[in-house]
Amino acid sequence: MDYRFSSTMDSFKSSAVREILKLTQGKSIISLAGGLPNEQYFPIDAVRDAFSRVFDEGKQVLQYGLTEGYTPLRESIAKHLERKNIHVGVDDMLITTGSQQAINLLTSVMIDPGDVILVERPTYLAAIQIFQSYKANIISVDCDADGMDLNDLELKIKQHHPKMIYVIPTFSNPSGKAWSLERRKGTLEICKRNNVLILEDDPYGELKFGDGETFPSIFSLDEHPTGSCVVYTSTFSKIVAPALRTGWAIGDATVIRNMTRAKQAADLHSSTMDQQALHQLFQHFDLHGHIDLVRSEYEKRMHQMVDLLKKQDWPGTRWIEPKGGMFIWLELPAHIDTEQLLKQAVQEGVAFVPGASFFADAPERNTMRLNFTHTDHDKMVEGIERLNRVIRKAL
Amino acid sequence: MDYRFSSTMDSFKSSAVREILKLTQGKSIISLAGGLPNEQYFPIDAVRDAFSRVFDEGKQVLQYGLTEGYTPLRESIAKHLERKNIHVGVDDMLITTGSQQAINLLTSVMIDPGDVILVERPTYLAAIQIFQSYKANIISVDCDADGMDLNDLELKIKQHHPKMIYVIPTFSNPSGKAWSLERRKGTLEICKRNNVLILEDDPYGELKFGDGETFPSIFSLDEHPTGSCVVYTSTFSKIVAPALRTGWAIGDATVIRNMTRAKQAADLHSSTMDQQALHQLFQHFDLHGHIDLVRSEYEKRMHQMVDLLKKQDWPGTRWIEPKGGMFIWLELPAHIDTEQLLKQAVQEGVAFVPGASFFADAPERNTMRLNFTHTDHDKMVEGIERLNRVIRKAL
């Protein structure tokens, strides 16, 4: 049989993260590469209890569910979002298989081949893969420590007439940065004025370090949900556990209804077991207390990694201390190619993600993403030491 | 905000089944419409036990999983398939969110806009929706009680050069029919000769009535998995429970690898909780004994419905007694439009699915699908009586 695949397959580049994970499997490599939450803080007893409560309700819990998602869970999430000044009803929300699926469904609903999507520079690599699979024309907007450069955003909107922009304004993957309030408001204003939809991806927003500055979602700054210029997506993967694979999207009910039609064709609905269990978790577990625990532990780990990086004092190397999330983004001197560096690093017994995959265009090859949530302190010390040997050699 | 949706949204027709489910919600309507398994036979104690065993393994069960699916579950499914003369390894298999997702992913991997897919006449309505969403050119092949008409299949392959054919040869949705061995072999031979991929959808194959005739999958009749002309998909929804939303696809490793890349962009992976629980179920539950129970109960219900239909003796009405599955397909006299009939039926307090939605082209409007698995006997009697009143009036 000669398999004749669709042209979509030409758009799929294989993911650097996955290739690295393959390299590191079964070896004694310290991985600072993955975007994994720390298992230590998975609330397994509460999750077990939540499933048990679901089974107590009887056999009908095992039946097919609505494509839109389990209604009581949508109610629970809507209530949870009120803390974030987000006010939506169940018809403004779709439950998805992780927020990854929400990005995919919105893209299918909005994007024809050749349509332009503006993204941050750098941005989440799996989002780039999704946009490529729909043959979108992906264009990067310049960014600094405060978020998107509003002049460059406006310029690129005038030049390229995008249908959509994709942003992770709060504790971004990979850069770890948090946009200033002014940039959030400015981006919203520019997009509204130019009729460009904003996809605001917020998987890390709950993982805020310290008690200071708050970071309101762009969605909460717009009139919402009806007529909103923003579709907002988030997930339980980072605040409860990834195995339950449950995320959600909120937005104008028309957009959500179209995403629901796309989901009906995609997989009918997400696991109803997981959805029912998460609803029980909201009822019988102090989720917000748990989030506080996770973020204080992650903050400790972030400081440990920052201290280790400071000690190395690599010449010409920069990073921004993250105000939340899971990642530190390193810029090494311009002549260093981190994809080359990775090969030596793996031999030395440490892995990271080379930055190039996070650029939709003109990759900055001297960058890398380090994860600080998954590796315990002793291993982190050893991992950064190994990295030091490789970087010293390259410098 | 003026939302500018993609042209894909023009392809989505809303599903008749869903509209009917909406009509019947909260009313005392007897629904013979849905494709629901009977809750009474959901093995809830075994499923509860399986989840409990998963939690016993510790916190790492809540971490991210592989896109390909939980490896021990793939091993369990491979072993289960040996009973059906199917011999595959874990690299020839992808776990999906129901078999619906398997159909979607294979379509994305194979079909460019305008590519031709041949389907049965009638066929599964959600598959039509998926193919439409990829802008495929869907063409029906004539069928009789034994399966696809091989002359028409060969003719349409010569005329339209399809990339793929989609078939449900065993206890089809909606027609309930089972293809003869000769048609299975003939279809395989013709497709191999013409280099056309077969998507064999087998959600109902385990629900066989009686001890006679067996129905080998087309996949098992081809050399497999390497170089196979067939991708085979099935699900746990009908033999365990739909809420766990777990299906699988098997085929040549190259095809599976491409589907895996598409799944990575679609949702990263399916619920790992459900996958781990299903693996535990294989280890600690007599799944095959359970399947025997379900099929004997469904067979009883099928006979009950057939007896009721015989009693009505509607003039000019035909059906084939199903040899398995969940549905009976009725052909009424040519002048009756079942979509019109449904409106009166709902007023009378009974629902069914009008047949028109199951045709990719030239719908036969005098047809309907009845489900016999979900309604208990007393209600089934009452439902068919209500249907009788509506049909008598229309005749």
Task: Summarize pLDDT for B209-250 with one digit per residue, the tens.
Answer: 988 888 999 999 999 999 999 999 999 999 999 999 999 999
B47, B91, B245, B274: best mutation site toward chain A, by most A Cβ within 10 Å?
Answer: B245
3.30.70.3170, 3.50.50.60, 3.20.20.150, 3.40.640.10: which CATH number matches A45-284?
3.40.640.10
| Chain segment B169-207, per-residue pLDDT in tens | 999 999 999 999 999 999 999 999 999 999 999 999 999
Instruction: Give residue B21's pLDDT.
Output: 60
Chain centre to alpha carbon of residue B97: 14
Residue B100 phi/psi, 5-degree rounding, is -50, -45
B109 CB neighbours in chain A (<8 A) are 5-6, 8-9
Question: Whole-number mean pLDDT of chain A?
Answer: 95
Q: Which amino acid is at B76?
A: S
| Chain segment A124-178, per-residue pLDDT in tens | 999 999 999 999 999 999 999 999 999 999 999 999 999 999 999 999 999 999 9
The pLDDT confidence band at residue B18, using thresholds 50, 70 and 90, is low
Separation in Å, CA of A393 to nearest CA in chain B: 34
**B20 vs B59 pLDDT, higher one:** B59
Q: Does A106 touch chain B if contact means CB atoms closer than 8 Å?
A: no
Angle of CA points A296, A323, A140, to nearest 5°: 140
Q: Which amino acid is at A332?
A: L
Closest CA to A275 of A44, A51, A36, A45: A51
Count of helices and strands (H, E) across chain A: 14, 14
Cβ contact (<8 Å) for A265 and B130? yes
Q: Please name the residues between 48 and 67 in chain B that touch chain A, using a CB distance below 8 Å.
A: 48, 51-52, 55, 58-65
SS3 content of chain A, % helix, strand, coil (to 5): 50, 15, 40
Residue B214, number of CB atoms within 10 A of its CB: 11
Of A1, A55, A252, the CB nearest to B48: A55
| Chain segment B343-388, per-residue pLDDT in tens | 899 999 999 999 999 999 999 999 999 999 999 999 999 999 999 9
**A14 has a pLDDT exceeding 70:** no
Helix, strand, or coil (residue A271): coil
Cβ contact (<8 Å) for A39 and B59? yes
Under a CB-based contact definition with an 8 Å cutoff, are residues A149 and A143 in contact? yes
Cβ contact (<8 Å) for A100 and B228? no
> What's the average model confidence in pLDDT over A223-245?
97
| Chain segment B115-146, per-residue pLDDT in tens | 999 999 999 999 999 999 999 999 999 999 99
3.40.50.10540, 3.30.1310.10, 3.90.1150.10, 3.40.50.300: which CATH number matches A8-43+289-394?
3.90.1150.10
Instruction: Give residue B211's pLDDT.
Output: 85
Rounded CA-CA distance B216/B83 in Å is: 11
Cβ contact (<8 Å) for B5 and A97? no
Domain boundaries, chain B: 12-43+289-394, 45-284
* Minimal-distance CA residue of chain A relative to B162: A4
Cβ contact (<8 Å) for B3 and A245? no
* Minimal-distance CA residue of chain A relative to B135: A112
Encode A67-96 in three state secondary structure. Answer: CCCCHHHHHHHHHHHHCCCCCCCHHHEEEE
Rounded CA-CA distance A207/A267 in Å is: 30
Place of tokens 């039609």: A261
**A21 has a pLDDT exceeding 80:** no
A52 CB neighbours in chain B (<8 A) are 48, 52
Rounded CA-CA distance B307/A355 in Å is: 68
Report DSSP state, residue A41.
Answer: G
Class for domain B12-43+289-394, per CATH? alpha beta
Q: Does B320 touch chain A if contact means CB atoms closer than 8 Å?
A: no
Helix, strand, or coil (residue B321): coil
* Minimal-distance CA residue of chain A relative to B47: A55
**B303 vs A13 pLDDT, higher one:** B303
Residue B358, number of CB atoms within 10 A of its CB: 27
Helix, strand, or coil (residue A325): coil
Rounded CA-CA distance B104/B133 in Å is: 9
* Minimal-distance CA residue of chain B relative to A99: B267
Token pair for residue B232?
A: 């085979």
Instruction: Give residue A395's pLDDT.
Output: 87
> What's the average model confidence in pLDDT over A290-307?
97
Handedness of CA A217, A223, A225, A229 (dihedral sign): negative
**B25 has a pLDDT exceeding 70:** no
Of A36, A62, A130, the CB nearest to B47: A62
| Chain segment B78-118, per-residue pLDDT in tens | 999 999 999 999 999 999 999 999 999 999 999 999 999 99
| Chain segment B327-354, per-residue pLDDT in tens | 999 999 999 999 999 989 999 999 999 9
Rounded CA-CA distance A151/B339 in Å is: 56
Token pair for residue B131?
A: 């193919």
Cβ contact (<8 Å) for A192 and B126? no
**B17 has a pLDDT exceeding 60:** no
Instruction: Give residue A12's pLDDT.
Output: 74
Cβ contact (<8 Å) for A244 and B15? no
Cβ contact (<8 Å) for A245 and B228? no
**A293 has a pLDDT exceeding 80:** yes
> What's the average model confidence in pLDDT over A29-43?
94
Token pair for residue B101?
A: 């997702």
Under a CB-based contact definition with an 8 Å cutoff, are residues B55 and A46 in contact? no
Separation in Å, CA of B233 to nearest CA in chain A: 13
> What's the average model confidence in pLDDT over A199-223?
95
**A43 has a pLDDT exceeding 60:** yes
Under a CB-based contact definition with an 8 Å cutoff, are residues A68 and A94 in contact? yes
Angle of CA points B89, B95, B98, to nearest 5°: 140
Residues forming a β-bridge with B144: B147
Give the DSSP H or E segment for B53.
Answer: helix B44-56
**B16 has a pLDDT exceeding 80:** no
Rounded CA-CA distance B255/B106 in Å is: 8
Q: Please name the residues between 263 and 302 in chain A that touch chain B, using a CB distance below 8 Å.
A: 264-274, 276-277
**A204 has a pLDDT exceeding 60:** yes
Instruction: Give residue B11's pLDDT.
Output: 77
> What's the average model confidence in pLDDT over B319-330?
96
Residue A57, number of CB atoms within 10 A of its CB: 11
Separation in Å, CA of A53 to nearest CA in chain B: 10
Encode chain B in three state secondary structure. Answer: CCCCCCCHHHHCCCCHHHHHHHHHCCCCCEECCCCCCCHHHCCHHHHHHHHHHHHHCCHHHHCCCCCCCCHHHHHHHHHHHHCCCCCCCHHHEEEECHHHHHHHHHHHHHCCCCCEEEEECCCCHHHHHHHHHCCCEEEEECEECCEECHHHHHHHHHHHCCCEEEECCECCCCCCCECCHHHHHHHHHHHHHCCCEEEEECCCCCCECCCCCCCCCHHHHCCCCCCCCEEEEEECCCCCCHHHCCEEEECCHHHHHHHHHHHHHHHCCCCHHHHHHHHHHHHHCCHHHHHHHHHHHHHHHHHHHHHHHHHHCCCCCECCCCCECCEEEEECCCCCCHHHHHHHHHHHCEECEEHHHHCCCCCCCCEEEEECCCCCHHHHHHHHHHHHHHHHHHC
Of B2, B115, B265, the CB nearest to A130: B265
B243 CB neighbours in chain A (<8 A) are 61-65, 271-273, 276
> What's the average model confidence in pLDDT over B39-56?
98
Rounded CA-CA distance A105/A98 in Å is: 11
Which is it for strands A247-250 and A230-235: parallel, antiparallel or unpaired?
antiparallel
Q: What percent of chain B has pLDDT over 90?
A: 91
Residue B335, number of CB atoms within 10 A of its CB: 10
Q: Which amino acid is at B74?
A: R
Size of interface A-B (CB pairs under 8 A): 249
Of A7, A101, A109, the CB nearest to B266: A101
**B15 has a pLDDT exceeding 70:** no
Of A12, A100, A104, the CB nearest to B261: A12
Of how many residues is chain B composed? 395
| Chain segment A344-390, per-residue pLDDT in tens | 999 999 999 999 999 999 999 999 999 999 999 999 999 999 999 99
Question: Whole-number mean pLDDT of chain B?
Answer: 95
Place of tokens 């999958």: B217
The pLDDT confidence band at residue B34, using thresholds 50, 70 and 90, is confident
Q: Please name the residues between 225 and 244 in chain B that touch chain A, using a CB distance below 8 Å.
A: 227-229, 237, 241-244
Closest CA to A138 of A151, A128, A148, A153: A128
Instruction: Give residue A18's pLDDT.
Output: 64
**B154 has a pLDDT exceeding 70:** yes
Rounded CA-CA distance B231/B233 in Å is: 7
Q: What percent of chain A has pLDDT over 70?
A: 96
